[in-house]
């Protein structure tokens, strides 16, 4: 029996040589559609995910109505009036969007996450260093649900398992779509949702995800997602790296400089390492007794 799937007839290699070669070509800066073989899994059915949502701490569960605009502030997102279990079990008709965060908090999901990341680890570690803070997220979405415009600090491969969605991705580090000040705000405790302008549409790259397809999303690449006409289940496997932490800390240090009247240059994207500003922020944070 395959330990990863609990089944005897499932392919143990989810990604394969072709996908790994394509991943090596795009990592860490270019979004890319990839293939995967994780078509089904006992831990990723609606029943299993409803139980997972109930078992996770409330801080690891987020869900809301799915009929949101592409651009919306986090404080303006309303509650859907349901429990997380009911939201997931009734996802076809609940007009909702849900994310289960840090699924690795449960041992069986940690095994699943780490087994998937192990396949890509040699590729990513050859470029951005040791794989750090592996985390998993499951997204369950009603038909036509929208995930608003935002960015994320992790390297991310999102695997589509059920239904379809279209993810529109914008270039990471391009200040037209996410100014440096928004990066600085995020890396000093602010929200990840971004300011949307309809003029952005023409510059985004839309990627169509169906079961058996995945997408690599670079660190802090702005994006939004629109679900298709059927309920959707997606799994994000994510990790941090020395590079991503240095980029984040350099933005935080820039926020400190900007608060003192300076206009610092934005951190460089890969292969720039941003070591100087990152080290300065880490020293300053230690001296001031800050966390993070």
Residue 197 structure tokens: 């302008």
In the chain, where are the structural domains located?
16-240, 245-288
- What is the value of pTM for the model shown? 0.90
The region, left, alpha or beta by phi > 0 then psi within -120 to 50, assigned to residue 6 is: left
Give the pLDDT mean for 245-262: 98
What is the Cα–Cα distance from 190 to 188, expressed in whole angstroms? 6
CATH superfamily of this structure's domain 16-240: Cupin (2.60.120.650)
Yes or no: say if 46 and 150 are a contact pair by the CB < 8 Å rule: no
**Exposure on the CB side of residue 225, measured as CA atoms within 13 A:** 26
pLDDT score at 66: 72
63: left (phi over 0), alpha (psi -120 to 50) or beta: beta
∠ CA 204-210-212, rounded to 5°: 120
**Residue 1's pLDDT band (cuts 50, 70, 90):** very low
pLDDT above 70: residue 2: no
Structure tokens belonging to residue 85: 């279990």
pLDDT of residue 73: 72
Per DSSP (E only), the strands in the chain are: 32-35, 61-65, 96-101, 132-141, 146-150, 155-162, 165-169, 205-209, 213-217, 223-227, 232-240
Q: Summarize pLDDT for 200-220 with one digit per residue, the tens.
A: 999 999 999 999 999 999 999
Sequence-ordered list of residues with C-beta below 8 angstroms from that of 12, at least 6 positions apart, any chain:
2, 4
Q: Please tell me whether residue 164 adopts helix, strand or coil conformation.
A: coil
* 3-state SS assignment for residue 165: strand
How many Cβ atoms sit within 10 Å of the Cβ of residue 111? 14
Residue 72 to residue 33: CA distance in whole angstroms: 27
Residue 157: other Cβ atoms inside 10 A: 24
What pLDDT is stored for residue 6 in this prediction?
A: 40
Q: 64 pLDDT band (50/70/90 cuts)?
A: confident
Rounded to whole angstroms, how far apart are CA atoms 82 and 96?
10
DSSP 174-196: -TTTS-HHHHHHHTTT--SB---
**Considering just the CA atoms, what is the radius of gyration of the chain in Å?**
19
């Amino acid at each position: 029996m395959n330990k990863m799937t609990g089944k005897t007839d499932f392919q143990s290699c989810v990604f394969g040589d072709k996908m790994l070669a394509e991943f090596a070509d795009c990592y860490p800066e270019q979004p890319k559609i990839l293939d995967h073989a994780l078509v089904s899994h006992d831990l990723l059915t609606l029943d299993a995910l409803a139980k997972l949502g109930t078992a996770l701490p409330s801080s690891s569960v987020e869900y809301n109505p799915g009929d949101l605009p592409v651009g919306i502030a986090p404080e303006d997102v309303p509650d859907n009036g349901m429990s997380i279990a009911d939201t997931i079990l009734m996802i076809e008709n609940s007009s909702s969007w849900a994310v289960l965060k840090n699924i690795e908090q449960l041992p069986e999901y940690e095994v699943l996450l780490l087994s998937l990341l192990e396949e890509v680890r040699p590729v990513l570690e050859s470029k951005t260093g040791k794989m750090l803070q592996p985390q998993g997220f499951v997204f369950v979405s009603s038909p036509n649900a929208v995930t608003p415009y935002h960015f994320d600090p992790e390297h991310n491969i999102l695997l589509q398992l059920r239904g379809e969605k279209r993810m529109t991705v914008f270039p990471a580090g391009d200040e037209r779509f996410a100014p440096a000040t928004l990066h600085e705000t995020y890396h000093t405790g602010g929200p990840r949702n971004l300011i949307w302008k309809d003029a952005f549409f023409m510059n985004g790259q839309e990627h169509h995800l169906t079961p058996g397809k995945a997408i690599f999303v670079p660190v802090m690449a702005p994006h939004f997602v629109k679900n298709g006409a059927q309920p959707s289940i997606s799994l994000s496997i994510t990790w941090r790296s020395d590079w991503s932490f240095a980029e984040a800390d350099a933005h935080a240090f820039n926020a400190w400089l900007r608060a003192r009247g300076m206009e610092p240059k934005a951190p460089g994207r890969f292969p720039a390492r941003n070591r100087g500003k990152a080290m300065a922020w880490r020293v300053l944070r230690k001296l001031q007794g800050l966390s993070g």
